[in-house]
A and B are shown apart, each in its own frame.
Chain A
Amino acid sequence: MPHVVLKNVSKAYGRVKAIDHLNLEIFDGEYLTMLGPSGCGKTTTLRAIAGLIQPDEGEILFDGKNIVDLPANERDIGMVFQHFEIFPFMDIWENVTYSARVKGLPQNKIEELGVNALKLVGMLHRANDYPDELSAPELQKIGIARAIATEAKLLLLDEPLGALDLKIRMEYQHELRKLVKKLGLTAIHVTHDQIEAMNISDRIAIMRKGRIYQVDTPMNLYYKPNSIFVCNFLSNSNFLEGFVEQVQESRSIVRLRGFGPKIIIPTTQWPVRKRLVLAIRKNEVAFEFEPSFEKNLVNATIIKRHFMGSRTIFQLRLENNDLFEAEILTREIPKDLNSQVTLSFDINHVMSFEYPEKLDYELALE
């Protein structure tokens, strides 16, 4: 039912473009997350979909119908807010049935919606309490119940778990997804938490500075990022500069800058002498003891060590003086500072990108 399409939607605040000609399609029954650093325009996009702000240009289609001029109260949406916004002067029951009441539904329908929604989140027993008697996680449940009680098939979630403690957040991610799927809703979720997005979504739209960089499944985004920014935002990687030296049948050989080590990449898409940025995830690197031909091997010197509990982060210097970091299970044999090691990492996991105009910009996380 709800199939949401954004066509060339733009919104500027003064000279700052909050969203810039945005195009996005959200399919019926899908759980889509908009993910990006703060100020990327994800909340603005969500509010434009909700009708709480008016875009400067562009179309927003619900099931093929342009609803850009429709005010929020006529859009048939359920929205969950970051700070829940449970009306403080109404009790829980009045909060949850607010939508049904202002829409003028018959009394028995109001009862039914309120009871069902509260049951769904397990809060029916708190119906007569006031918001100031509830804890943050409970208020969050009421926020969801109130949105569900609108009977809307489109659920908009603005950092709905942001105000909860880290441990509770993990548990709620699972609950939230289960609920959305059970009710067959379409959900658009905004967050800046990568793990939450990965955990909860069917697809993720990665946003930055008012634009969408990539929309795909969590797995694809992680393994096949289309840009240095997405790669850096979703995974902790080393970024190394190099040039294509040789193109083989199914792979290419890149030599790192400053006559550095050779690294094999699993693609033939770049021509010889092409300047590239290679990305190697820090947690996919290991110390090598038995060299194998199917892996990239690089010599390095350990210069710093940070103990992080189960893992230890090593800072290393490669032969060409480039710095490199590796996140290795602490239980593996400890290495001393200044010792020479051989690092290994899977050929298929090396990602390669065209060298951008401004590498700093691509690597900035804002």
Chain B
Amino acid sequence: MGQLIQKIEKALSTRFARIFSDTFTLAFFILIIIVPILYIFTFVGTEWNSIYTEIFNHPITGDEQWFDLTAALVRSFEIAAIVTVIDILIGLPMALILARKDFRGKKYIDTLIDLPLAVPTAALGFSIYLFWGTQWGIGGLLGLGGGVFSEGPLMIMLVHIVFTYPYIVRNLKEVIMRVDRTYEQAAQSLGAPPFTVFRTITGPLMKEGLVAGAILAFTRSLGETGATMIVFGVTETSPIQIVAWRGLGLFGPAAFLTMILVLVALGLLLMLKLVTRRVGLPIHRVFPRAERKLSHPILRKSRNVIVGLIFLVVVILPSLWTFVYIGINGNAAYSQMFLSSDNKVAAFWLSLMSSLSIAGMVTLICIILGIPMALIMVRRKWGKIKAILDAMIDIPLVIPSAALGFSVFVFWGTLGPFGPGGVFSPGYWLIVLVHVVFCYPYMVRVLIPIVNSIDPGYEEAAMTLGAPSFTVFRTCTWPLLKRGVLAGSIITFTRSLGETGATLVVMGLARTVPVLIVDWVEAQSLAAAAFASVIIIIFSYCLIFILRKITLENE
């Protein structure tokens, strides 16, 4: 047995095996992840005439599609821009506090901030909707008959702020922590009050991170579907439009809009990679009087209080409100789930099973193909090619998932390069495929720094001791890598579990839990939707709890 393993590992360690594995990994990455996304350009190109007619020159509707398309696009951009600005305004002080202050309970706030990250956005959006938009939320507490806000742009923004908040705070916190404190101390010793220190020293040192975080939040908001589905009312955003058009069979306009969104996303990614360095902030001028006033301890204290209050009222309470709702409406939830004629509990059970099975399958594929990719990114010395790969890995991250889903749907389906038969029709396997596309970058991005932190010295030592390279991987690299793989798996799993936009486009008759929640909210079965939300939220929290334990132990 031992000898057999030795033989197999020797065979896997040959130059040929290595080249094969590299080729296979890259081929998978290019053909399964990248090409389907970019195929949309080819599709729009070849089908241009019919798409043009459909959008601009329809015999019945004329250019109404074009009108709708631009209106939704502009709206999406406006919402994303406002959300990003508010995010930075309320996220930056929180990031500063978490990075630079020590206080009791900091650990808990740190965990609380991650909460919205773990929850499927559909469940999150529903919870926020319950909080702001119904009589069981803040409106009821204030004695109003209904909600405080109704569905529409304002509530979309509220939802987007909540689910981008963790991204921006995490990101900025990391960036601030990387800033060398001694520069700040030097500035302080030179007589700069705290606010000036922040603006003239910390600010310039973190500006790249700030811009990167802002772009990321912007793309998140631009691409969100699940939560937006629940609160959009009649104001469609672009991702929702793709889902709607795809549902109506308007593939031409959907493809065109997808292409625009992919282009925008690629542009933003390019900005992220190239332009962030050149952004200027007004750092050279100093405003001693005003800044000394702004540095006053009372102002800083009240800032901290305001940041805490906003966090509580805008982020935490709304995203946990489903639990309150279930507490109040337990009976309704029970009767809707178990006593209604359409047997909701069976539907829920079925969708939960497909959600878990899809997420499990996606995670497995991402592990098997993500590890060699991470190894390539760190260990191979390919120069420019690697830089290009590095940029390409992030492509699925920035593309709105509905657009991504539509592109993949077109590529593998009857409209794609494989002819009228298609390869995958909407359903289980196409969902898996789409989820792999947008989960893969998460896995690789988690693994790369971990592979990076593994001292190649161990592997060199193992090699001088006579181990072939695959044995080196199994005995030296893997033990150091496996915690990272576990962490990456949990992130991949929760991503897949919580995705809505892409799933809506490619699901066919299969249902995942987030889609089910959206369906039930549309059908006004709020109690049932709350039931499904609570279960999936608890499930996600458990996962995130395990994830934190792993990463904390790693530190």
Contact = CB atoms under 8 A, between A and B. Distances in A.
Interface of A: 50-52, 71-79, 81, 83, 85, 87, 89-90, 94, 98-99, 101-104, 146-147, 150, 156
Nearest to B197: A73
Majority secondary structure of chain B interface residues (helix, strand, loop or mixed) = helix
A146 B192 CA distance: 13
Given A102-B196, A103-B288, A71 B182 contact: no
Contacts of A83: 182
B286 interface: yes
B364 interface: no
Contact of B191 (A85, A87, A103): A103
Given A87-B201, A104-B286, A98 B182 contact: no
Contacts of B425: none
A181 B465 CA distance: 62
Contacts of B189: 50-52, 72-73, 75, 77-79, 147, 156
7 contacts: A71-B188, A73-B191, A77-B189, A99-B192, A101-B288, A102-B187, A103-B191
Contacts of B201: 87
Contacts of B194: 71, 73
A330 to B, nearest CB: 42
A147 B185 CA distance: 13
Given A81-B185, A102-B190, 6 more contacts: A51-B189, A52-B188, A71-B194, A87-B183, A99-B190, A102-B192
A104 B186 contact: no
Interface string B264-297: 0000000000000000000110101101100000
Interface in B181-210: 182-183, 185-194, 196-197, 200-201, 204-205
B175 to A, nearest CB: 15
Given A89-B204, A94-B284, A102 B185 contact: no
A157 to B, nearest CB: 11
B531 to A, nearest CB: 47
Contacts of B286: 101-102, 104
A-B pairs, 8 with minimum CB distance: A104-B288, A99-B190, A79-B189, A85-B186, A102-B192, A72-B188, A101-B286, A89-B204
Nearest to B284: A94
Interface extent on B, as a size class? Answer: 20 to 34
A58 to B, nearest CB: 20
Nearest to B281: A89
B288 A73 contact: no
Contacts of B288: 101-104
A72 B204 CA distance: 21
Contacts of A78: 189-190
Contact of A98 (B180, B187, B204): B187
Contact of B289 (A89, A90, A99, A104): A104
A81 B200 contact: no
Contacts of B291: 102
Contact of B190 (A52, A98, A104): A98
B182 A102 contact: no
Contacts of B188: 51-52, 71-73
A79 B190 CA distance: 8
Most buried by B among A75, A79, A83, A103: A103
B202 to A, nearest CB: 11
Contacts of A104: 286, 288-289, 292
Contacts of B204: 87, 89
Most chain B CB atoms below 10 A, which of A72, A90, A104: A72
Interface string B150-182: 000000000000000000000000000000101
Contact of A73 (B192, B200, B283): B192
A98 B284 contact: no
Nearest to A84: B186
Given A89-B204, A102-B200, A150 B183 contact: no
A116 to B, nearest CB: 16
Contacts of A52: 185, 188-189
A81 B190 contact: no
B283 A146 contact: no
A74 B291 CA distance: 14
Output the residue of B189, B284, B288 with the most chain A CB within 10 A. B189
A75 B194 CA distance: 14
A280 B180 CA distance: 46
A69 B200 CA distance: 24
Contacts of A90: 283-284
A85 B190 contact: no
Interface centre among B186, B187, B289 (most CB of A within 10 A): B186
Given A79-B189, A99-B190, A104-B289, A85 B196 contact: no
A89 B283 contact: yes
Nearest to B183: A85
Nearest to B192: A102
Most A Cβ at <10 Å: residue of B180, B188, B192, B205: B188
Contacts of A75: 189
B205 A146 contact: no
Contacts of B192: 73, 98-99, 102
Interface in B328-348: none
A75 B188 CA distance: 10
B191 A99 contact: yes
Contacts of B283: 89-90
Most chain A CB inside 10 Å of its own CB: which residue of B183, B185, B284, B291 = B185
Contacts of A156: 189
A158 B190 CA distance: 15
A73 to B, nearest CB: 5
A146 B190 contact: yes
Interface string B212-253: 000000000000000000000000000000000000000000
A150 B185 contact: no
- Most chain B CB neighbours (cut-off 10 Å) among A87, A150, A156: A87
A97 to B, nearest CB: 10
A76 B190 CA distance: 8
A146 B190 CA distance: 8
B182 A89 contact: no
A72 B292 CA distance: 14
A80 to B, nearest CB: 9
A77 B190 CA distance: 7
A73 B197 CA distance: 10
A304 B188 CA distance: 55
Contacts of A98: 187, 190, 192, 200
Contacts of B185: 50, 52, 72, 81, 85
Given A99-B191, A102-B200, A79 B186 contact: yes
Contacts of B292: 104
A162 to B, nearest CB: 13
